[in-house]
Amino acid sequence: MIRGLSELVLIVADVSRSAAFYSDIVGLKLERPATDQWAWFTVGPTSGRQRLALHRGPLLFEEHSPRPPGERFGRVHFAMEVPRQDLDSQVERVRSAGVAVYGPVRLEWMLADSWYFYDPDGNLVEFWSPDQP
């Protein structure tokens, strides 16, 4: 039985730049100071269990990947759940930093609203907010 998402690692060009984006603009909290190679953030209410990492350089599995160099990892899309009462302020926080924000998009099949924006490395980030908590 899967208990949830443990970590998501994004390959980035500049850890410092991306760490500033995710802390200052998105509002995530660093677990510990970032290095040139890694930055780790806690995501969600379960401290230390759900994490977003930023990494520059190869990952452990990369040397074993059957895909050719440059195609082993790609841009991703991921969503972070934002409570409805916080959605407007979270979207405004990103927008006021000069980041283009797209939406809202009504996801009727999920009974939710979503807003989208890109991080400095072209990953598509979504603020997803269900009608009911």
In this structure, are residues 127 and 80 in contact, taking their beta carbons and an 8 Å threshold?
yes
How much is the mean pLDDT over the chain?
Answer: 87
Residue 121, domain extent: 78-133
Residue 65 lies in a domain: no
The tens digit of pLDDT for each residue in 13-61 reads: 999 999 999 999 999 999 999 999 999 998 877 655 788 999 998 776 6
Q: DSSP character for 68?
A: P
Residue 101 lies in a domain: yes
For tokens 């994490």, name the residue. 51
Residue 130 lies in a domain: yes
The total number of structural domains in the chain stands at 2
Residue 66 lies in a domain: no
Is the pLDDT confidence value at 89 over 60?
Answer: yes
The tens digit of pLDDT for each residue in 54-78 reads: 999 877 666 666 778 767 666 788 8
Same domain, yes or no, for 42 and 12? yes
Judge residue 81's burial from the number of C-beta atoms within 10 Å of its C-beta, 0-12 exposed, 13-18 middle, 19 or more buried.
middle
Same domain, yes or no, for 48 and 83? no
Give the separation between CA 8 and CA 126, rounded to whole angstroms.
14
